[in-house]
């Protein structure tokens, strides 16, 4: 296919040339020297991204690995966790907990709305025995693009005096949506390399504070691979990774963190905010035609990293096929919005707008979608792209 | 700068990942083996791109090298050439001829219009002594984006029975605008690697037919480096290049030719035509505001590879600064439209749309420009981007 | 440092340019298309490398992850495993089992000799209650370079009629030393990407047969991330990886498998055998000087992938410093041969000779070592390098 | 082929990863910005490599282009040059001069010995009319590996009071053998990118001093492409290159110069000297067998960049085939030592040892050759590799 591909799915995100180039390098010495020195610089910068003075354990793994890693350090078979869910990934984390023998109390808030904090608070208040060891909260559910109020959860825990750990899944949101681990009172946070961190899939991260560390210290047994203690405070280099380091990913991560540090997290968040608003501005105009709609009605509840949409009559899939086949623009499939077999399944799609992103990319994505919508004769409002350009113009 | 850069200047063009990857490889044996075998496949495919059964000589060099190489094989000090010019590059080729001691008869058609074939024919008819050895014709002048009628020149030569060689500069046009070397009766054609051929600058090509070869055979002296004879028909590998081969460029060229051959030249031309029309459609709407105008009024005279524009009150430069600084979109400077010191100098800019290009890239470029225009409060018509998207939608 | 580095540590091994180039590519669509199609080709070729008709589960992880993954599918807290150990990695796998609450019965055979099969058989015969659920056998212990007789273990199990699973760690050996999973009666085998498979660290693999699968089927609980069942027989693409795929590693792995398949496993093994014998031939001559010695006396018990050596008076470390600092040749540290604080700790070093290796590399490594030995005035025999060259000459 | 290739031909040399990585990058803006700023740093560092306060013109081209470029600025048709030749490349430069209509007075010193300075001086003294405009002297002839005394030539010119320009070809030697342009009184020097400069073929360089510049100023005509004046002192960026810049090569060159500057030219020369002596030490021992011989008897007359050898009975070619086919080590063909059809043609080969080179590479090359010699049953002395290792040990 001629022309540059644009992968606009909600992860993996577009990887910077600097990251790919940094990974294209000979295998290094893993016992001493430059790599060992460099690895020590990763933790401090990762903590700057997560806005925490706490600890960070790095793993070779994906987001699901991070889920299991985090859980393995603080809950065990027979324990109970509370899981407010706003999409497939909330349920996914709960499922991972179940796989460890953990009891899950799920509060399902559907696929279009964020946590109802009142209901969560009610559940916490009802747990007078404090059976709930942790609240598993997805900050942004990649399937629905719902963004939840994590600071609000902390307030609910505090109001009820509940000692459960607040665990946040920032896989889709970190480095895109504003997130303040310490200021928001998050005890454990998990994320992956392949979205806002702009590194290929293959690494994941668990951040934790001293409260979580003390819960870990009280665990009867934690598996060697998941144990975050030596990873966060290694005496020897191999302990960072419980074995061989993911050498090429480390180079990529270093390059990505350099970019984030150079830009500054506030600027990174502002950029994602502007570009997300540009996308929504176009979507709002397209929606005037009646065929397309944003999944999350209230902008306050939307992620700045991913946008879930509906295009009726199965045209979401047709649109994806057109943009990928005609102009090398790959949009994300709908995920978790309709079960297999449901005739509505082809009505959903998603846009990834995370990480290595700027105004010309977003205009290309939106322009490609508009071409696709026109190709499919979808009724749309007038000058959606101009509305987006106006937001970028500022 | 976050997000992918988009270099929308009229060369070098955006290079495909496949080309850059092919060049990222260890130095090869240049005496025998895989590289030697591969090099033999380049000529046939280059001839397919140029639509000729003639010869091709490859050089390490840029477009200016191709100009000098081609001239050195067919004209000498004291000879005369006719140069119809429609922009800076016509004059540049004439200057190269002058550097070789060649007399140049220049017909200047300004900066907005193509050759007036009647005037060219008149000049040829007037040259009853046939002092004119060659007509140097720029197919597309990169500075003005004027596209000239090369087949029409052949007809003029034929009608006047003039024996001069028809030499075409397709540096900006090859692989973008339709070009048929044999069918159009072109004797010598020059081009470079860095535009429609999608390879980094560093190689150039001279195509020639048997008529031109016989002119070469009659030359008193041709320098070793410029002599096209051994290059086009080497007995030993090093003769292709008159010395060491440009090894990494050869890998890149092979990858680029693979892409062109896979797509097919007709499809390549059609793609450039569609995307150029999309660009013009947006420009036409922007032009409604009265501040922006396309340099070439008649679409029939425009290149499908480059578009020269004017934006009044020096805002062309301001626009370029905004798009490069805010959204990593680099537009081309105006070239040859106003002299240094002229207050109008900041009124011109150019768009490159050649080579590795598709609809999402073009929409990104146009969307970025619209954001810039809005940022500068340039008056523009409504829904320019929608008009472009409609062209791409087909 | 001028000149090409040579990393001759026992993993990560030298990565082929083809692998690194394959990984240098834009993020792909992970929901459908080329990557999804390609991923299906990996399992069959991995099974060819491992010589098995069984199943293979791929993980994002390192060798330690593979250890834990394999164990998690077949043993649980309270179960017992038998671990014959011939170096640090045997003990390491046992430690991983302990981390899961598994009882480990360790037979320690020191650091210079392979398993004493009679003692293993004795232990199995003594376990009349069949408490031992699995025998964890390291094929090649990377620390000592001892190679064990895995087929012999199967025979011991069979002779005693013991139903324990035979689990082999081929992290250091796969793709280097001969290994025949099915023919040797191995039930579960683990390996990593970064040694004989020539891919950067970050992936690991668990192979298992139907017997092991039925043990898995009887497990009360297996964690979602470690469960090999959906990974080996996924209904959806994400199940291969329990989440996001390690996209760039998959491209690298495909390139590496292409190389192995093109060469053929028998040729791969023969190459490693020849090159290992060349290394030993040089070492034998160096050893004549009395200062250097091979850790494993009997060639029949040595790995073809890694060689552990001793150089007296702490000169192993001095040698490594000289070769790395002077000629960019990095040798492996001794591992597990002496505890921290032991004055003998600087007496040990290791050579990696696994994966992407040929005669000019091995001669460069050996030549570099000889230069270092001479620089340190270590007494050595005469013409060690000639002896190695003779082996390569064949 | 498994294992890393080693290309030990006398150019192109092994390219550093840093150079290839630097070239693997998106096309840059060629009108302003980072590339333009960087390009200005190249000249000063190139002059440091050449040890001159003079001027440097950069060209897109190979060594033959540099020959023609240099000549075109200082001699014209009808002029005479003196060419002392010690191999094919001396004759090649003379041939290039002839292609420009220049008369060449060739002093042929055969293929094994350097210039006889007395004979050169005699020729200069005889030219009382000062018809000789320049002396074209190859510093190291890549075909024979003879190294000539350039400072001695200057002395001969000075003793005879001859005003001819001293022009040196340092294509094979720059960055390897000691060269001092100013101290040695060289007026014009040419070189290419692909040997000691460690950049892929595709760029060449002409250095010149004020004396040469004044000769240029007196020329009736110099072609636009070859004219060094604007290239050495450009008013606009495009004048550096007479048109489009070789963008990717500039990045590669910057990376290579960074390496040379970091090491320092004295250290670079010392490294090449040590490694050349190691190679000769091995060759001397191999030569004891009577079948192999170094082309240049006296080490004082040998290049530190390339070594030309003979191996009798056509075994040079057999050796090259063995090393390339069996262990991916590519040796250089003999060049210019025997004409096509001569049965001795297969008796010659060459080793390149220039640029990105260290002790482990050289030992690998020598070890590979020894394996090849043994495979062919060539009689050789004992412990050649030990002798080489001893030199590297220092």
Structure letter (DSSP) for residue A75: -
Q: How far apart are CA A174 and CA A354, in angstroms?
A: 9
Considering only CA atoms, which of A194, A97, A244 is closest in space to residue C66? Answer: A244
Q: How far apart are CA D179 and CA D48, in angstroms?
A: 11
Interchain contact, D21 vs A25, CB within 8 Å: yes
**Which chain D residues are within 8 Å of A26, Cβ to Cβ?**
17
D183 and D233, same structural domain?
A: yes
CATH number for the domain spanning C61: value is: 3.40.640.10
Q: Which chains touch A (3 or more CB pairs under 8 A)?
A: B, C, D
**Which of A2, A24, A389 lies closest to B374 in CB terms?**
A389
| Res. D187 pLDDT band, cuts 50 70 90 | very high
Q: How far apart are CA A43 and CA A254, in angstroms?
A: 10
What is the pLDDT, as a whole number, of residue C230? 98
Residues whose CB falls within 8 Å of the CB of residue D63, separated by 6 or more in sequence, listed in order: B243, B244, D169, D171, D190, D191, D192, D204
Strand partners, A302: A146
Residue B340: pLDDT over 90: no
For residue D68, being part of any structural domain is answered with: yes
Interchain CB contacts (distance < 8 Å): B and C: 10
For B85, phi and psi rounded to 5 degrees?
A: -120, 140
Single residue among A234, A262, A290 that ends a domain in this structure: A262
Residue D278: pLDDT over 90: yes
B308-323 tens-digit pLDDT: 999 999 999 999 999 9
C275 and C253, same structural domain?
A: no
Q: Establish whether B350 is an annotated binding residue.
A: yes
* Interface probe with A: pick from D14, D21, D27, D252, most Cβ of A within 10 Å: D21
For residue D174, being part of any structural domain is answered with: yes
Give percent of chain D above pLDDT 70.
100
For residue D16, being part of any structural domain is answered with: no
Structure letter (DSSP) for residue B30: S
Q: How far apart are CA C355 and CA C200, in angstroms?
A: 12
Q: How far apart are CA A294 and CA A278, in angstroms?
A: 13
Interchain contact, B324 vs D29, CB within 8 Å: yes
Chain C: closest CA distance from residue B26 (Å): 8
The half-sphere exposure of D262 on its side-chain side, counting CA atoms within 13 A, is 8
Interchain contact, B221 vs D11, CB within 8 Å: no
| Res. C39 pLDDT band, cuts 50 70 90 | very high
B17 to chain C: nearest residue by CA? C25
Interchain contact, A374 vs B360, CB within 8 Å: no
D192 and D124, same structural domain?
A: yes
Give percent of chain C above pLDDT 90.
98
Q: Which chains touch B (3 or more CB pairs under 8 A)?
A: A, C, D
C239 and C371, same structural domain?
A: no
Chain A: closest CA distance from residue D22 (Å): 9
Chain D: closest CA distance from residue C99 (Å): 39
Q: How far apart are CA D309 and CA A347, in angstroms?
A: 73
Considering only CA atoms, which of A184, A190, A195 is closest in space to residue A157? Answer: A184
**Which of B5, B63, B332 lies closest to D244 in CB terms?**
B63
What is the pLDDT, as a whole number, of residue A340? 82
For residue C301, being part of any structural domain is answered with: yes
What is the pLDDT, as a whole number, of residue B159? 98
**Which chain C residues are within 8 Å of B24, Cβ to Cβ?**
21, 24
**Which chain A residues are within 8 Å of B392, Cβ to Cβ?**
326-327, 367, 371
Residues whose CB falls within 8 Å of the CB of residue B354, separated by 6 or more in sequence, listed in order: B10, B11, B13, B172, B175, B176, B195, B196, B272, B305, B306
Considering only CA atoms, which of C171, C211, C185 is closest in space to residue C62? Answer: C171
Q: How far apart are the first and last CA of chain C?
A: 34
The half-sphere exposure of C228 on its side-chain side, counting CA atoms within 13 A, is 32
**Which chain A residues are within 8 Å of B358, Cβ to Cβ?**
1-4, 327-328
**Which of D5, D65, D77 lies closest to B26 in CB terms?**
D5
Single residue among A241, A262, A283 that ends a domain in this structure: A262
Interchain contact, D225 vs B330, CB within 8 Å: no
The three-class DSSP label of residue B125 is: helix
Interchain contact, A371 vs B392, CB within 8 Å: yes
Strand partners, A169: A138, A190
Chain A: closest CA distance from residue C72 (Å): 10
Angle at CA of residue B272, ends B271 and B273, nearest 5°: 90
Considering only CA atoms, which of B175, B123, B108 is closest in space to residue B153? Answer: B123
Chain B: closest CA distance from residue D270 (Å): 25
Strand partners, A232: none
What is the pLDDT, as a whole number, of residue A98? 98
What is the pLDDT, as a whole number, of residue D130? 98
Residue B291 contacts residue B349 (beta carbons within 8 Å): no
Count CB atoms within 10 A of the CB of residue A112: 18
Q: How far apart are CA B89 and CA B140, in angstroms?
A: 9
Residue D307 contacts residue D277 (beta carbons within 8 Å): no
Chain B: closest CA distance from residue A374 (Å): 6
Residue A237 contacts residue A39 (beta carbons within 8 Å): yes
D272 and D192, same structural domain?
A: no
Q: Which residues of B touch C (CB under 8 A)?
A: 17, 21, 24-26
The number of residues making up chain C comes to 394
Which H or E element spans position B134? strand B132-138
Break chain C down into helix, strand, coil percent, rounded to 5: 45, 20, 40
Interchain contact, D25 vs A24, CB within 8 Å: no
For residue C9, being part of any structural domain is answered with: no
CATH number for the domain spanning C329: value is: 3.90.1150.10
Q: Name the token pair of C101.
A: 């609450």
Give percent of chain C above pLDDT 70.
100
**Which chain A residues are within 8 Å of D21, Cβ to Cβ?**
21, 24-25
For residue B12, being part of any structural domain is answered with: no
**Which of A4, A323, A385 lies closest to B385 in CB terms?**
A385
Question: D6-31 burial by CB neighbour count: b if 16+ within 10 A, else e?
Answer: bbbbbbbbbbbbbbbbbbbbbbbbbb
Residue B264: pLDDT over 90: yes
A107-165 tens-digit pLDDT: 999 999 999 999 999 999 999 999 999 999 999 999 999 999 999 999 999 999 999 99
A12-28 tens-digit pLDDT: 999 999 999 999 999 99
B258 and B282, same structural domain?
A: no
Residue C100 contacts residue C74 (beta carbons within 8 Å): no
Tally the domains of chain D: 2
Considering only CA atoms, which of B3, B2, B20, B10 is closest in space to residue B357? Answer: B10
Q: How far apart are CA A175 and CA A177, in angstroms?
A: 6
D384-393 helix and D359-375 helix, angle to the nearest 10 degrees: 170
What is the pLDDT, as a whole number, of residue A343? 86
What is the pLDDT, as a whole number, of residue D215? 98
Considering only CA atoms, which of C13, C385, C8 is closest in space to residue D393? Answer: C385
C256 and C203, same structural domain?
A: yes
| Res. C341 pLDDT band, cuts 50 70 90 | confident
Residues whose CB falls within 8 Å of the CB of residue D72, separated by 6 or more in sequence, listed in order: B223, D100, D222, D223, D226, D227
Chain A: closest CA distance from residue D7 (Å): 18
A153 and A189, same structural domain?
A: yes
Interchain contact, B9 vs D23, CB within 8 Å: no
Considering only CA atoms, which of B90, B304, B60 is closest in space to residue B201? Answer: B60
Strand partners, A81: A104, A134
What is the pLDDT, as a whole number, of residue A341? 86
**Which chain B residues are within 8 Å of A268, Cβ to Cβ?**
2
What is the pLDDT, as a whole number, of residue C64? 98
* Interface probe with C: pick from B21, B23, B361, most Cβ of C within 10 Å: B21
Give percent of chain B above pLDDT 90.
98
B231 and B153, same structural domain?
A: yes
Burial of D264 (0-12, 13-18, 19+ CB in 10 A): exposed
* Interface probe with C: pick from A224, A323, A348, most Cβ of C within 10 Å: A224
Count CB atoms within 10 A of the CB of residue D55: 21
**Which chain A residues are within 8 Å of D17, Cβ to Cβ?**
25-26
What is the pLDDT, as a whole number, of residue D339? 85
**Which of B9, B64, B221 lies closest to D224 in CB terms?**
B64
Residue B104 contacts residue B81 (beta carbons within 8 Å): yes
A305-361 tens-digit pLDDT: 999 999 999 999 999 999 999 999 999 999 999 988 898 999 999 999 999 999 999
Determine the distance from the C-alpha atom of residue B70 to the mean position of all C-alpha atoms in its chain, rounded to a whole number.
15
What is the pLDDT, as a whole number, of residue B341? 86
Determine the distance from the C-alpha atom of residue C219 to the mean position of all C-alpha atoms in its chain, rounded to a whole number.
28
Determine the distance from the C-alpha atom of residue B153 to the mean position of all C-alpha atoms in its chain, rounded to a whole number.
18
Q: Name the token pair of A91.
A: 């349920």
For C313, phi and psi rounded to 5 degrees?
A: 60, 35
C362 and C237, same structural domain?
A: no
Beta strand extents in chain C (DSSP E only): 6-8, 55-61, 80-85, 103-108, 132-138, 165-169, 188-192, 202-208, 292-294, 306-311, 329-333, 348-352
Single residue among D239, D262, D285 that ends a domain in this structure: D262
Beta pairing class for A329-333 and A6-8: parallel
| Res. D343 pLDDT band, cuts 50 70 90 | confident
Residue A41: pLDDT over 90: yes
**Which chain D residues are within 8 Å of A17, Cβ to Cβ?**
25-26
| Res. B68 pLDDT band, cuts 50 70 90 | very high
Average pLDDT, chain B: 97
Average pLDDT, chain C: 97
Q: Name the token pair of D68.
A: 């023609």
For residue A146, being part of any structural domain is answered with: yes
Q: How far apart are CA C293 and CA C281, in angstroms?
A: 12
Considering only CA atoms, which of B295, B294, B272 is closest in space to residue B283? Answer: B294
Interchain contact, A223 vs C68, CB within 8 Å: yes
Interchain contact, D363 vs C364, CB within 8 Å: yes
**Which chain B residues are within 8 Å of C21, Cβ to Cβ?**
21, 24-25
Chain C: closest CA distance from residue D4 (Å): 7
Interchain CB contacts (distance < 8 Å): B and D: 185
| Res. D340 pLDDT band, cuts 50 70 90 | confident
**Which chain A residues are within 8 Å of C350, Cβ to Cβ?**
none
Interchain contact, C63 vs A333, CB within 8 Å: no
B295-306 tens-digit pLDDT: 999 999 999 999
| Res. D1 pLDDT band, cuts 50 70 90 | confident
Chain B: closest CA distance from residue D158 (Å): 32
Interchain contact, D367 vs C384, CB within 8 Å: no
Q: Name the token pair of A386.
A: 């101009």
Chain B: closest CA distance from residue A278 (Å): 11
**Which chain B residues are within 8 Å of A383, Cβ to Cβ?**
382-383, 385-386
For A81, phi and psi rounded to 5 degrees?
A: -130, 155
D327 and D310, same structural domain?
A: yes
C313 and C284, same structural domain?
A: yes
For residue D9, being part of any structural domain is answered with: no
**Which chain B residues are within 8 Å of D138, Cβ to Cβ?**
none
Interchain contact, C101 vs A225, CB within 8 Å: no
Domain that holds residue B291: 264-393
**Which chain C residues are within 8 Å of D382, Cβ to Cβ?**
382-383, 386
B327 to chain A: nearest residue by CA? A359
Residue D297: pLDDT over 90: yes
Q: Quick one: average pLDDT of B160-167?
A: 98
Residue B288: pLDDT over 90: yes
Q: How far apart are CA C65 and CA B325, in angstroms?
A: 45
Q: How far apart are CA A8 and CA B305, in angstroms?
A: 27
């Amino acid at each position: 296919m001629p022309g540059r591909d644009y992968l606009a799915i909600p992860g993996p995100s577009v990887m910077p040339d600097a990251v790919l180039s940094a990974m294209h390098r000979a295998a290094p010495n893993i016992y001493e020297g430059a790599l060992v020195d460099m690895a020590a610089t990763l933790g401090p910068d990762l903590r700057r991204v997560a806005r925490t003075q706490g600890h960070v354990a790095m793993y070779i793994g994906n987001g699901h690995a991070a889920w299991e890693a985090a859980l393995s350090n603080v809950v065990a078979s027979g324990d109970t966790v509370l899981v407010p869910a706003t999409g497939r990934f909330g349920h996914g984390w709960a499922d991972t907990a179940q796989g460890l023998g953990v009891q899950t109390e799920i509060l399902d808030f559907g696929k279009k709305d964020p946590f109802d904090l009142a209901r969560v608070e009610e559940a916490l208040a009802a747990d007078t025995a404090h059976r709930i060891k942790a609240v598993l909260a997805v900050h942004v559910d990649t399937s629905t693009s719902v963004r939840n109020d994590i600071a609000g959860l902390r307030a609910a825990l505090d109001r009820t005096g509940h000692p459960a750990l607040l665990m946040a899944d920032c896989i889709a949101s970190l480095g895109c949506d504003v997130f303040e681990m310490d200021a928001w009172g998050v005890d454990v946070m998990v994320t992956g390399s392949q979205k806002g961190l702009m590194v290929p899939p293959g690494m994941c991260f668990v951040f934790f504070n001293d409260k979580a560390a003390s819960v870990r210290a009280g665990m009867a047994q934690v598996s060697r691979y998941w144990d975050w203690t030596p990873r966060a405070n290694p005496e020897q280099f191999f302990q960072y990774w419980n074995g061989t380091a993911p050498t090429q990913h480390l180079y990529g991560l270093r390059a990505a963190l350099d970019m984030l540090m150079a830009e500054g997290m506030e600027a990174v968040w502002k950029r994602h905010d502007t570009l997300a608003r540009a996308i929504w501005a176009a979507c709002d105009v397209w929606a005037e035609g009646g065929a397309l709609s944003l999944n999350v009605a209230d902008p306050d509840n939307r992620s700045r990293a991913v946008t879930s949409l509906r295009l009726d009559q199965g045209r979401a899939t047709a649109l994806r096929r057109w943009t990928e086949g005609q102009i090398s623009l790959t949009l994300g499939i709908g995920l978790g919005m309709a079960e297999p077999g449901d005739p509505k399944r082809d009505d959903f799609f998603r846009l990834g707008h995370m990480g290595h992103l700027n105004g010309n990319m977003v205009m290309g994505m939106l322009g490609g979608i508009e071409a696709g919508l026109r190709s499919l004769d979808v009724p749309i409002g007038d000058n959606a792209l101009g509305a987006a350009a106006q937001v970028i113009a500022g």
